Structure 1
């Protein structure tokens, strides 16, 4: 009796095995990619904030220590012929020109990318250093608020314009949309504290609406948002909606008082 040799067909099983391995490899790659993306999101939304906020707080502390360590300003020099305390001095001629123009932009601008002032907004719990310039790597990504170089300096006539991140990298302007007319905005420098009052908010405009930074600010995109008289303005700008850079949110404030240090 002749024995039959069984024939094992492996083609279909081999194809199934290869398909299973391919699916397993694809699943591993998908999981790996998901973990990488998750880590990237954590880095952008948490770690960059942590680093930038820490650096910004440290910079504010340094500025305040520098200002506190400055020697007191010298008193007025005695007039010729004075013999000491109590002696009469000749009255000095009053300075000419309006006060705002006497304290205009004649003072040299701060060095580029260097923090030189502190912005405080009690309504949103913000304390952040102000640096000259609006470069991302050197200023904004460090958690600083940037000063537009061609705008007025804080406390001076014209429009002092500032920019800051709304999300990531310290996000100092995260809650800028919560400001309301009458809210206080403080700018501290080595010379003085400038107190501004919020006057108006432009909720959304295009990135190219550069007239919001003009000396007498207005929106060329939304003409109803306009100031008409010269003054000492402060403009705060950031991206909107959150987590995008599609539009700009603008807050305008006006100088209310100046307190010398």
Structure 2
């Protein structure tokens, strides 16, 4: 029987193929590890870091209020819904793709963006989170805070106190906002008082550019069946939906039902 000979060039070629395949496999494994680390960073580390920072800020605010109670910008100024103009600078504020994605009307005032000045509590969700001025991702939302839409009203005032929060990553304070039901309570505490709003309407999905949801009398522009017809003292909570996307916005509305001033 004749035995076929394997030439050296054939063996060298096979060895090159094996090296190429091995190098490719190493690159794929390395890329997979990097992607996994990125996912872990986004879904775990940013949440842990933001949640811890937000909790520390809440505790700091509570200590500050207890030690030095005083006047703040949350007091009502009249019945025309104009408020005290502490909604931030005079530029329109875009939510940067993290809340309702809507533009608030311009407003005046001096409160700095990223400055936490209130605490929002939702008992059903076991949530306690600081509220800061503005809806910038970097300065506010990525810290695990809830951001106040510039130009909307302040807690307790006539009009619409509108805020946005992340649903996923960076503390994800509004992760379970979809679990709220009509009749649930939402508390907003400031230096001077605690304002309790009662949830009475939920818009499961709307466009990111549905600016009507944060107007003084909130009503969806894309789904007009959702919203209000008369002036009042409203709360609007906005976040992204579905989870892990920013394609649409989930909106929860409530009306002020009680105010408890601090002694």
Measure, in 2, the Cα distance between the counterparts of 1:131 and 1:174: 18
Describe the superposition over 1:145-178 as per-residue Cα deviations: whole angstroms up to 9, x where unpaired.
Answer: 0000110011100001000000000000000000
Give runs of aligned pairs for residues 106-255 of structure 1, distance below 5 A: 106=84, 108=86, 109=109, 110-255=111-256
Instruction: Name the SS of the counterpart of 1:228 in structure 2.
Output: coil
- Tell me the secondary structure at the aligned position of residue 168 of structure 1: coil
Report the CA distance shift for 1:72/1:218 in structure 2 as closer, same or farther (over 3 A): closer
Q: What SS does structure 2 have at the residue aligned with 1:101?
A: coil
Separation in 1 of the partners of 2:161 and 2:24? 55
Aligned residue among 66, 83, 86 for 1:105: 83
- Aligned residue for 1:190, secondary structure, equals coil
Q: What runs of 5+ residues in structure 2 fail to find an aligned partner?
A: 87-108
1:101 deviates by 2.0
Deviates more, 1:20-29 or 1:8-17: 8-17
Report if aligned partners of 2:146, 2:173 keep a CA contact under 8 Å in 1: yes
Q: Which runs of 4+ in 1 moved over 4 A?
A: none
Which residue of structure 1 aligns with residue 14 of structure 2? 16
Whether 1:56 and 2:54 are equivalent positions in the alignment is: yes
Report 1 or 2 for greater relative contact order, CA contacts < 8 Å, sequence distance ≥ 6.
2
Tell whether the 8 Å contact from 2:65 to 2:191 is kept in structure 1 after alignment. Answer: yes
Tell me how far apart the structure 2 counterparts of residues 103 and 242 of structure 1 sit (CA, whole Å): 34
Give the TM-score normalised by structure 1.
0.85
SS at match of 1:45: helix
How far apart, in 1, do the equivalents of 2:219 and 2:241 lie?
18
Corresponding position of 1:67: 65
Instruction: Tell me the residue number matched to 1:36.
Output: 34
- Distance in 1, matches of 2:130 and 2:21, equals 52
TM-superposed CA distance for 1:234, in Å, is: 0.4
